[in-house]
């Protein structure tokens, strides 16, 4: 039944695409992260010494410029986490939103990116290797369904992004609780920028969630990077019905050694519960980006995760990542 429903949905979408493309400027694009990985050690016994090939991301995107003010985006991706009984990928909807421009303000409606992802990913530069820490640790979702406003000052140095969403990520709404996102970004000059992110999600029985992030970023010539500080408060979420405070710091950068060769490095520290001792995790990410073509890179990389709780086994994974887009 799910397969039939998926095929019907895709058929309807592509019929709509054909109709809209006849009336608008349409752009098709795609993106893939493909790895060979080897887990030298892993805290999860089933993953220890495991290796193989995997798709970590596959996007197919259609962008419509319907008019000078109105545009839309449709994006799908295979979902490796939701396999069928035949161990095959299911397609999932990643983006489906309309964008309307009103002078220096853009109105977004639908399933869209959340504010906390874009800026840090831009300066980190290697989502193809790993998500930013807030996304990786599940502090924020990369998508939500709702309505958003994005605007800039006249000189383009200051911008804001407000989103009111379901707090359901890619899924349908299942309850009355919502999430409010806010991002403020200031571009001091061509090299330096800073951002402040805040969001609040209400929940049943006052189990609310508060999130904040402060980021400082640098980009000049062949060097790009930054440092971010994140914090979260989960009210009444522990087994004792008490609050849980989580925090993290991420320091990252990448540097061009040659026109075709770039090095990347990142250090993360994450504490899922600040009231507990020996609970944190330290993550190191390093790699080299060999750019064979403008849109095709081979990125050997290494990810090491150290647990302060020495009863846990550290994680060490080596990968060869193939990044390509069209």
pLDDT tens by residue, 218-258: 999 899 999 999 999 999 888 888 999 999 999 999 999 99
Q: What is the pLDDT of residue 206?
A: 87
Q: CA 56 to CA 290: how far, in whole Å?
A: 19
Q: What is the pLDDT of residue 36?
A: 97
Q: What is the pLDDT of residue 172?
A: 80
Domains of the chain (ranges; CATH) run 28-325 (2.40.160.10)
Q: What is the pLDDT of residue 85?
A: 47
Q: CA 173 to CA 244: how far, in whole Å?
A: 25
Q: CA 44 to CA 56: how far, in whole Å?
A: 19
Which residues, in sequence order, are CB contacts of 288 under 8 Å at separation 6+?
A: 261, 262, 263, 264, 299, 300, 301
Q: Most distant CA pair in the chain: distance in Å?
A: 62
User: Residue 115's closest CA among 162, 61, 155?
Assistant: 162
Point out the residues of the chain with pLDDT beneath 70.
Answer: 1-24, 79-88
User: Residue 65's closest CA among 105, 102, 104, 26?
Assistant: 26
Alpha carbons within 13 angstroms on the beta-carbon side of residue 19 total 6
> Which two tokens mark 102?
């009103």
Q: What is the pLDDT of residue 83?
A: 44
């Amino acid at each position: 039944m799910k397969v039939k429903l998926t095929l019907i949905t895709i058929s309807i979408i592509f019929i709509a695409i054909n109709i809209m493309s006849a009336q608008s400027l349409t752009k098709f694009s795609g993106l893939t992260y493909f790895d060979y990985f080897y887990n030298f050690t892993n805290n999860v016994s089933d993953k220890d010494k495991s290796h193989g090939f995997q798709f970590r991301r596959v996007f197919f995107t259609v962008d419509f410029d319907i008019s000078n003010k109105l545009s839309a985006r449709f994006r799908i991706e295979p979902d490796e986490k939701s396999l069928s009984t035949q161990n095959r990928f299911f397609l999932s909807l990643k983006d489906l939103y309309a964008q309307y421009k009103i002078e220096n303000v853009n109105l977004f409606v639908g399933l869209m990116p959340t504010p906390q992802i874009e800026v840090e990913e831009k300066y980190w530069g290697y989502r193809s290797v790993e998500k930013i820490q807030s996304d990786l640790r599940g502090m924020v979702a990369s998508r939500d369904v709702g309505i958003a406003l994005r605007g800039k000052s006249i000189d383009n140095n200051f911008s804001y992004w407000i989103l009111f969403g379901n707090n359901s990520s890619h899924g349908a709404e299942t309850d009355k609780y919502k999430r409010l996102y806010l991002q403020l970004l200031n571009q001091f000059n061509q090299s330096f920028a800073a951002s402040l992110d805040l969001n609040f999600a209400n929940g049943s029985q006052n189990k609310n969630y508060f999130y904040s992030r402060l980021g400082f970023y640098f980009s000049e010539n062949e060097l790009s990077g930054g440092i971010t500080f994140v914090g979260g408060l989960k009210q009444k979420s522990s087994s004792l019905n008490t609050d849980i405070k989580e925090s993290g710091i991420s320091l990252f950068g990448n540097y061009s050694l040659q026109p075709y060769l770039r090095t990347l490095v990142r250090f993360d520290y994450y504490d899922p519960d600040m009231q507990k001792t020996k609970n944190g995790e330290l993550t190191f990410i390093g790699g080299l980006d060999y750019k064979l073509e403008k849109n095709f890179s081979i990125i050997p990389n290494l990810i090491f995760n150290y647990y302060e709780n020495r009863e846990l086994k550290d994680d060490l994974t080596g990968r060869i990542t193939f990044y390509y887009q069209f």
